Amino acid sequence: MRRMIQTEVRPMECDMCGKQATAMAEIEGAKLAVCDACGKHGRIVKQLPRAAPKGPASGRPIVRSAPIREQSEISEQVRKDLPEILRKEREKRKMTHEEFSAVLNVRASTYHHFESGAILPDVELARRIEQTLKIPIVQTVKTIKGEWKNDTETKKGLSLGDFIKTKKK
């Protein structure tokens, strides 16, 4: 006698060919799970519930569209007119670059870059300058992913970075 080793949970396989079984059939005196084709060789005893078909043919493909909210992000940006702000504030105080850089707690050479517009401070440093001068320097900007373009000042900063990279080679 042939042993039945089928489990209850798994979809039954045809005992003859291994395809998904669709029925129980009596073939040559043995009860076997059979597919449509193999069932023809015997007498169908019971139809089996068909398991949900697998693969792309099953139903409509699920298209998930990401919410718009995920495609934009809020970021902080240093004001583009920072060089002018710094120069005006420094001139107001009748200070040299060195003196004013000490007020802002940055190195004089660094300050020179900020005022000339060669580089912009990062947001963290800009926040400190903002507090010292009591002037808004950091702006909150909503950007759409992939569409944000660098402003002129940032480009200058990037080209400086590129220059450093080139030097390291």
Residue 17 in contact with Zn ion, rule: CB under 5 A: yes
Residue 35 lies near Zn ion (rule: CB under 5 A): yes
Amino acid sitting at position 37: A
Residue closer to Zn ion, measured from CB, 16 or 137: 16
Is 20 in contact with 11 (CB distance < 8 Å)? yes
Nearer to Zn ion, 16 or 119 (CB): 16
Q: Using CA atoms, how far apart are residues 19 and 12, in angstroms rounded to an integer?
A: 9
Q: Does 125 bind Zn ion (CB under 5 A)?
A: no
Angstrom distance (rounded) from CA 75 to CA 167: 31
The residue (of 54 and 165) whose beta carbon lies closer to Zn ion is 54
Q: Pick the closer one to Zn ion by CB: 14 or 129.
A: 14
CA distance 24 to 28: 13
In the list 14, 78, 82, 86, the residue contacting Zn ion (rule: CB under 5 A) is 14
Instruction: Note whether 33 binds Zn ion by CB under 5 A.
Output: no
| Interaction of residue 12 with Zn ion, rule CB under 5 A | no
Q: Which stretch binds Zn ion (CB under 5 A): 1-9, 37-45, 129-137, 153-161?
A: 37-45
Q: How many residues bind Zn ion (CB under 5 A)?
A: 6
What span, in angstroms and rounded, lies between the C-alpha atoms of 167 and 165?
5
Nearer to Zn ion by Cβ, of 14 and 86: the residue is 14
Q: What angle do CA 116, 156, 166 make, to 5 degrees?
A: 120
Interaction residues for Zn ion, span 140-159 (CB under 5 A): none
The number of beta carbons lying within 10 Å of the beta carbon of residue 120 is: 22
Helix then strand count (H, E) for the chain reads 6, 5
Chain residues binding Zn ion by CB under 5 A are 14, 16-17, 19, 35, 38
